[in-house]
Amino acid sequence: MSGSAPILNMRDVQFQWPGRSSFSLNVPAFRLEEGETVLLLGESGSGKSTLLSLICGTLKPASGIIDVSGTDMAALSGAGRDRLRAEQIGVIFQQFNLLPFATVSDNILLPLCYAPNRSARAKKPLAEATSLCRSLGLSDDLLGQRASALSVGQQQRVAVARALIGQPPLMIADEPTSSLDASSQNAFLDVMFGQLGEIGASLLMVSHDPRLGKRFDRVVELSDIAKFESHAA
């Protein structure tokens, strides 16, 4: 991991919610190296979702640099941030965010519709989607089923396949194990880390559970890298 440029490099990032001068987030410095896995710990309301939204470009900081794969996300227009996110970042949402009436294959292939370079990396998208499903323990006959017909565990694995399709270099996971018991958490992490190792992607996973830390290269407390301030009006 050393000797190469970081996948994610945040410097002097400041954000304030429009119209809410009493709330602000400040990130002096944070790096995620190539191939590194980091668990970011923080309690509910500590600013985790705001930080992830800044990294993914759905929020734009007031100032600072958010370098993703060599491009400053913060310097781009809204459309530019959307393109960079689609090309470079795979996201696993806490609630999975699958399209319920779309098929499993359509859900997995969806990110490629907005990312021509990522689609090119997939080469044969449907074949890659099928391979990912098999690696994640999903049978081929599920590809044509609607996402709404799947179990929670199956939906979770489809969400991982969707994030991994086209081999994005940066993976963001927003509390994907929060609703799972310990056994299911370990099984999910086994699957996710196995796939990350295959493509060499970096992972930033947010959680409030420090017990997961032993699975990661590094554990970071949100309060150590960011200040989320609430001031009395």
pLDDT value, residue 175: 84
Residue 29 has what pLDDT?
A: 95
In this prediction, residue 231 carries a pLDDT of 53
Model pLDDT, residue 22: 63
What distances in angstroms separate CA 187 from CA 91, 167, 192, 231, one per listed residue?
Answer: 19, 22, 9, 42
Coil vs helix vs strand at 205: strand
- What pLDDT does 233 receive? 46
What is the tens place of the pLDDT at every residue in 206-222? 988 898 899 999 999 99
Domain 35-57+77-221 class in CATH: alpha beta
- The phi, psi pair for 205, rounded to 5°, reads -115, 130
Residues in the chain, pLDDT under 50: 2, 232-233
Contact 217, 204 (CB under 8 A): no
Contact predicate 136/191, CB 8 Å: yes
Asked whether the CA dihedral 52, 57, 63, 66 is positive or negative, the reply is positive
